[in-house]
Structure 1
């Protein structure tokens, strides 16, 4: 059973003080009270639960109406959606169909500036969440009972995770480690890196042993995996690599009680919090429920955003028709795009009324081998969860202009369908939990770390390929093989930009993809886009913050 994460926590008086600084960007947003009727006493359990809730919800009344942050689009301003957009929309994996939306053309081509609303949404959400974590830690400081010690360790982990996102996205953070009205100071590069590393080291022993925590709470394996991620990217963050430590901590995760799920698709289905095969790989999920955690920024965004009305096995009554695959991503499974199963151009599509059921769509699609199961078979890889069929309209493989959702193949990895065949009761807002940390990351982290140190990384990559029933096992690891494998395993999981930056491919001509730089064939962009700008509003209101070079 899923926990109801929407808890009433702070009084209006407490929230009035909630900001990174008296005149900072975050304070300008007028952070709203969670429950004006709640008294001013500290509800430790409620505030603790809220610490996890903020990963997956945006306010106190479901989809809208009582947001954490006033002054922003509530649906757009949640933790997962804001960080996902920054790490996915500018990359080789996907495109947001509606180019008239705010900042979307800039994200598509990598061309934002310091007034970008979408980068500010991520910046402000991270800062708000950290403020809440600081509040909990200050209120529980000095308590020594076992449960409080563990809760404090987990909240410090979540705070470290948020500071990691600051480091990865912005290269710096408006830093505070206590709840106060003082302006945050700037921490960047190695200084922020060291803080995160030290925090994770200090709290490790107070966290649950691997797989002993209630599902949805961080344990030691989550701690180790974040450290492995930090060390793998050390060269980007500090200028000095630390692949040996990345290998060490990835190995600790692999050697723990977690195991790979035997079926890749189970990790992204509506019952991934009940299916033991899926749960044994998911180290830290963002909990989602179609009734209790309704929002537009979690798995609703992933499921609804990647579907259009008329697609088979929608899993939702609400297809937003927003996110589709770039041709460059399809090439991760089909190096020769002429081999991608597609409907012949001279074949007419039946009227939508003639394709009114999944069975009728399948009956048409099977004639041309354009179902997802056909795509997987042609790719020889279970992870090729793409759809080129006619449900919802005729799709293109790649387009000369971005005009809508059908300008690329559909990605159907995220599903609001149960693996056991039972119906989902929540057909508009998904039940699908988001695996924010899962074991497969440790395998690819170790593979890359070993490769960077001159070792043989084939075993860890092939472990994932065998799980995906991949018909091609890797014989010789190359840098291109590694970055492509990161995409095949983790596409649309909110990390791609970070990987491309680490490989020196995000802005350079080392790797070009469709619409990079604003042209259909792609081109390089200025290197300062490897980090996002500090919002101009915070630069203007916090004298401690400096702008990133180039903005």
Structure 2
């Protein structure tokens, strides 16, 4: 199945009876594969993998899987927005966009379109998995199909984990049947099902790290399942309302990964090991590849869309910035002050341009001005004493603020340049607009922080987390304090994984997302931040899906 999702012509799908409440909710515009000969097992398998990074049949737009704004409907963009835009990491500049203020301010309702887009995308993808598994059941004992089916079951479990994390429940089906509505599976029941499913399929998957190579990069092997299992266990107390605390299980699964992958550490052509994980040739650079357990494959020519790497790169750039890596800066996502504070306890220590660039300044001029002013990204990293402080605070594209009284545009905060469509070898990328950057959906660094936190939760002693945290901080060129605190652990999750689509989950696990224990800028919709109600810990089931499926119940508070 070499490079399957890049080289196989994707089948025109989907089908009626989707995993969401009813077919009409998805507005599916595709053929029914049960009455068409235009698909095959391998094309179906390719389609399932491709939905992690694509939004439809053509790309970048047209013939989308779901008939909403196609650019907004992708798996990564929809889940990223619900995990990041409401947190202390980033804000969306264009607050007039539909539902953006509600997400920014943690004020969403059951009518939120962005919540519905994520719900429908996950349901669509689960239905694809169910369709494949139902239609290959007669081949289940074939060794090759047993492997493929285990991979699809993993991807289904991954999507159901997103349901559990975002909504605390899922519309649940494991077979494809257009006449049967999904039932609701929630909390501990869903947690237990995912736990059992992963346990069953792990022995059937390829060995840990077997797909961590050029031939199979992008396929899920046992390493991906182990890391998802560890992630599930780390969040067990949240997902089961305190009835399960599987922290030892999280440690055990992390231990199965140790030594099977490697952190990207060595500098290359001026780029740190950490930076290389998020650059355009991270699928060719051996040390970057070795850290990435499961990537979402992206290619500027073969996988054009507005929901994957293009979203991450373009939304964080504005015309006039140096080292753009794209000719299409959307000037949308920028850093909240709370994110910058994770690297600079005193914000005055962060370099910041104060003199505007001339109107006719070239990229070379901007670079020279930034170097003279000490406001390049390298300057920010040096001042932070942390290679992970990938912010641009120079004069390219206009002068920026760090703290702001209102979200008044892209330059209200620093620019985040963690995701970069530039190659480490200096060669041109495949496209000037659509990035080549593969998205590390699961990477080895997560093992260290998961194990560190699980040891802390099991023992009650934050010092138990020290050894694993030190590995990551050493890679970043950052010193580790003599005393590790609980606050330091959650801050370290931010420093290592900001803008990777997980921040809300981590804050929830520490009891910091809602309430007033932790306040950040624009939490609750005011500049200084305020407390928000606890029911916002999970999202509401979309009203349309409640109306369409009598088996679904609304989450408390909505």
Match of 1:49 in 2: 46
Match of 2:503 in 1: 496
Q: Deviations over 1:225-246 (max 9, x none)?
A: 0010000000000122211111
Deviation of the 1:247 alpha carbon: 1.0
2:421 to 409, 416, 441: 416
Distance 1:190 1:328 in 2: 33
C-alpha contact (below 8 Å) 2:465/2:484 kept by paired residues: yes
1:13-28 equivalent positions in 2, closer than 5 A: 15-20=14-19, 24-28=21-25
Cα distance, 1:47–1:512 mapped onto 2, change above 3 Å: same
Cα distance, 1:51–1:544 mapped onto 2, change above 3 Å: same
1:286-297 equivalent positions in 2, closer than 5 A: 286-297=296-307
- Normalised to the residue count of structure 1, the TM-score between the two structures is 0.95
Matched, 1:370 2:347: no
The DSSP-based 3-state class of the residue aligned with 2:184 is strand
C-alpha contact (below 8 Å) 1:365/1:371 kept by paired residues: yes
Match of 2:84 in 1: 88
1:533 to 533, 540, 544: 540
Matched, 1:253 2:267: no
Match of 2:268 in 1: none
Match of 1:5 in 2: 6
Cα distance, 1:6–1:550 mapped onto 2, change above 3 Å: farther
Deviation of the 1:36 alpha carbon: 9.1
2:223 to 221, 224, 227: 221
1:333 to 334, 340, 343: 343
Distance 1:200 1:113 in 2: 33
Deviation of the 1:398 alpha carbon: 1.5
Deviation of the 1:39 alpha carbon: 3.5
C-alpha contact (below 8 Å) 2:12/2:57 kept by paired residues: no
Match of 1:98 in 2: 94
Match of 1:232 in 2: 234
1:113-512 equivalent positions in 2, closer than 5 A: 113-143=109-139, 144-181=141-178, 182-213=180-211, 214-238=216-240, 239=242, 240-255=244-259, 257-262=260-265, 263-344=273-354, 347=355, 349-353=356-360, 355-357=361-363, 359-454=364-459, 455=461, 456-470=464-478, 472-512=479-519
Matched, 1:68 2:62: no
Distance 1:132 1:545 in 2: 21
Number of residue pairs matched by the alignment: 539
Deviation of the 1:16 alpha carbon: 4.5
Deviation of the 1:451 alpha carbon: 1.0
The DSSP-based 3-state class of the residue aligned with 1:154 is helix
Distance 1:338 1:249 in 2: 42
C-alpha contact (below 8 Å) 1:8/1:35 kept by paired residues: no
C-alpha contact (below 8 Å) 1:5/1:50 kept by paired residues: no
For structure 1, list consecutive stretches of 5 or more residues without a partner in the other structure: none
Q: Which moved more, 1:204-213 or 1:443-452?
A: 204-213
Distance 1:107 1:367 in 2: 39
C-alpha contact (below 8 Å) 1:417/1:424 kept by paired residues: yes
Deviation of the 1:254 alpha carbon: 1.8
Deviation of the 1:212 alpha carbon: 1.1
C-alpha contact (below 8 Å) 1:253/1:442 kept by paired residues: yes
Deviation of the 1:47 alpha carbon: 0.5
Deviation of the 1:378 alpha carbon: 0.2
Tell me the C-alpha RMSD between the 2 structures: 1.7
C-alpha contact (below 8 Å) 1:34/1:68 kept by paired residues: no
Deviation of the 1:365 alpha carbon: 1.0
Q: Deviations over 1:160-195 (max 9, x none)?
A: 000000000000000000001211000000100011
The DSSP-based 3-state class of the residue aligned with 1:179 is coil
C-alpha contact (below 8 Å) 1:289/1:429 kept by paired residues: yes
For structure 2, list consecutive stretches of 5 or more residues without a partner in the other structure: 266-272
Deviation of the 1:2 alpha carbon: 6.0
The DSSP-based 3-state class of the residue aligned with 2:293 is strand
Distance 1:324 1:103 in 2: 18
Distance 2:47 2:543 in 1: 29
Q: Which moved more, 1:218-227 or 1:26-35?
A: 26-35
Q: Deviations over 1:511-538 (max 9, x none)?
A: 1100001110101100000000000001
The DSSP-based 3-state class of the residue aligned with 2:138 is coil
Deviation of the 1:474 alpha carbon: 2.9
C-alpha contact (below 8 Å) 2:385/2:477 kept by paired residues: yes
The DSSP-based 3-state class of the residue aligned with 2:160 is helix
Match of 2:270 in 1: none
Deviation of the 1:139 alpha carbon: 0.7
Distance 1:386 1:218 in 2: 32
Deviation of the 1:38 alpha carbon: 9.4
1:517 to 517, 524, 528: 524
